[in-house]
Structure 1
């Protein structure tokens, strides 16, 4: 495990300056790393996709636990360090690129692959959207994300949001534990949390494009009642939108944050 001293030395040697724009905050707390690896529950049959391996703090453990590890790194200097550090490791493949732009199919991942990552916080939403809706989604993700984002993902009725509905449509999310900002160098301005996102074995048999159009329209103006958002988004008369909500078994003045996933599905049936 790399210590904080090691991390600073490596950064100096390779002229690596942590980029805030890329969310480069290096984890150096060994206890947190071990908790992440335990949560991943890996074995030699597993293929793991790691996003943003950085200096290899998680990678060191992943290559010892999993059968195959594919690590995707955007930063060229970090990539150079990783390739040198792991040049003799046979079960690790390092890929250069932006995970949001790369073709997942090119990785030839096994059907039940897992993702373990300390995600750059600025890509969390787009990353989840890409992988949860992918033709070959991971069976499980163990992710370090911003604490407030973790809370949004696992939100319940009364605090629901677009991200929560999207994740909960595809998977079962759970916050595992929180991580202090002091566990990173440089220290970010916010605390973090590790979440587990387990893919559902069976998705709801609905038109996903229409479903997410409905949800986006529902959340388009947060302070407005749902009937107003639906009327504007679907070009309905206000009475039509109100009837749609009532037929779905919901209160006519309800707001989007007060709907559970099943409520959106009932509205979809009435469209």
Structure 2
């Protein structure tokens, strides 16, 4: 995918006000809305009369200038300048009209715009009060958006989602699951992944724009390498991840020092999790194993049972007694855990 031809911008410099060229309106979108039984949401204005124009470099800078805002390094704010990437995110999540979508950090609303155009009902969580106000104002004419001004990593997203789905008459068992589509700050990637992936009872899939290095580590980290960590076991336990495409850094303002990537996580429901007696005990064992990453498991897990018992369990799994944590797959850890718990 080619990157947009953008003027050079220094990192975290004050953006220059640039007047965007007027763009032709896209064709109107007609639909109806009801609550019970569930119908597609309104996308006409009582919601939105016309499909909104895609955002670009000029639109994003104009939105930031309208509130005299600069991207905050402390919040990891990097705004997407290429509407085609936002379309890729929506496509990766297979967004359909009537889907409920959680967006984390909507910023100026460029991705929100794509999701609403696709007919989704968007629940946006924004930590920055100025950006929360901006996106509320921008989409004030539609009933397809609810903005929560909160810090995602500290909020109770499960209770929020249950409450919102109930209020929208979407909590019945026969409705589709919600989805997550977001361009998140790179500095909270792991926190977001850990919070969302165990929520297969609410979300069917999570589509995130992550730092490319992080994306590769989460999805493709091979065994016996420093990149293979407890988070890889966690991700595979709760989801089926897939690396979709690389996004060059030149697509962002301000331009970060790294490229990004789109990753999808198809969430598993509890019935499809690997069979362990206790997920808490299982991940406690995995974390303990990796705390002594260079140690053999018979030593790093000896607080759970004796080294001899661990060696015997490893043998029953078909692994050598000298195994280290970086050599075990998710299934290996599951089998080892279940054997150790019987000791």
Q: TM-score range by the shorter chain?
A: over 0.9
Q: Specify the SS of the correspondent of 2:110.
A: coil
What does the per-residue CA deviation read over 1:172-230, in whole Å, with 9 as the maximum and x for residues that have no partner?
00000011111101011111110010012421232101110111011112222222211
Q: Which residue of 2 aligns with 1:203?
A: 273
Counterpart contact for 2:199–2:267, Cα < 8 Å: no
Counting matched residue pairs gives 269
Q: Deviations over 1:211-258 (max 9, x none)?
A: 101110111122222222112x43x44333323322322122222122
Matches within 5 A, 1:155-166: 155-159=221-225, 160-166=228-234
Alpha-carbon distance, 1:135 to partner: 7.2
Deviation at 1:166, TM superposition (A): 0.3
User: After superposition, what is the alpha-carbon deviation per residue over 1:77-123, rounded to whole angstroms, capped at 9, x for unaligned?
Assistant: 11111111111111111111011222222233456100000011121
The 5 A counterparts of 1:205-244 are 205-206=275-276, 207-231=278-302, 233-234=303-304, 236-244=305-313
Q: 1:117 aligns with which of 163, 182, 187?
A: 182
CA contact (8 A) 2:275 2:334 kept: no
Q: What is the RMSD computed on CA atoms of the aligned residues?
A: 1.7
1:42-191 equivalences under 5 Å are 42-104=95-157, 105-108=159-162, 109=165, 110=171, 112-134=177-199, 136-154=201-219, 155-159=221-225, 160-191=228-259
Question: Which moves more between the two structures, 173-182 or 236-245?
Answer: 236-245
Structure 1 consecutive aligned stretches of length 4 or more whose deviation exceeds 6 Å: none
Kept in 2: contact 1:47–1:66 (CA 8 A): no
Aligned equivalents of 1:255 and 1:66: distance in 2?
Answer: 49
- Tell me the distance in 2 between the aligned counterparts of 1:144 and 1:63: 18
Q: Structure 1: which 5+ runs fail to align?
A: none
Distance of 1:227 and 1:248 partners within structure 2: 14
Provide closer, same or farther for how the CA distance between residues 225 and 54 of structure 1 changes in structure 2, counting only shifts above 3 A. Answer: same
Q: Choose from 320, 323, 326 the match for 1:254.
A: 323
* Larger-Rg structure: 2
CA deviation vs aligned residue, 1:151-179 (integer Å, no higher than 9, x gap) = 12113433431111101101100000011
Q: Check if 1:267 corresponds to 2:336.
A: yes
In the alignment, the residues of structure 1 paired with residue 120 and residue 72 of structure 2 have an alpha-carbon distance, to the nearest angstrom, of 31
Separation in structure 2 between the aligned mates of residue 192 and residue 149 of structure 1, nearest angstrom: 9
What TM-score do you get using the length of structure 2 for normalisation? 0.74
Structure 1 counterpart of 2:18 = none
TM-score (norm 1): 0.93
Q: 1:45 to 1:84 in 2, by over 3 A?
A: closer
